[in-house]
Amino acid sequence: MSKPKKMPEFNTEAEERAFWESNDSTDYLDWSQAKPASFPKLKPSTKTISLRLPETLLDRIKIEANKRDMPYQSLIKAWLADDVNDNRRT
């Protein structure tokens, strides 16, 4: 690989995002020198949403969560994550 280009300086995250959307990182970084990174204390950001469910469905979810001794919101998140992961593989 030839010498990488000089990395530009960005004033905002939006400016940096726009740059990387239209530029190839291999022009600016030597990925052969990259090393795996681990961030064990990094917590994923969450966003609160409002979801309307039929009361009977919510009651059934709460019963299932109670059987598993977990909060019903956590069970919903786990089910959604499993379904999304399963569908991405197909």
* Residue 20 tokens, joined: 């990387």
Q: What is the pLDDT of residue 76?
A: 97
In tens digits, the chain (90 residues) has pLDDT values of: 578 899 999 999 999 999 999 999 999 998 988 999 998 888 888 899 999 999 999 999 999 999 999 999 999 999 999 999 988 775
pTM: 0.52
What residues does each domain of the chain span? Answer: 1-34, 55-88
- Give the number of C-alpha atoms closer than 13 A to the C-alpha of residue 43, restricted to the C-beta side: 3
Q: What would the DSSP string read from start to end of 19-86?
A: HHHHS-GGGT--GGG------TTPPPP---------HHHHHHHHHHHHHTTS-HHHHHHHHHHHHHHH
* Residue 33 tokens, joined: 């020198």
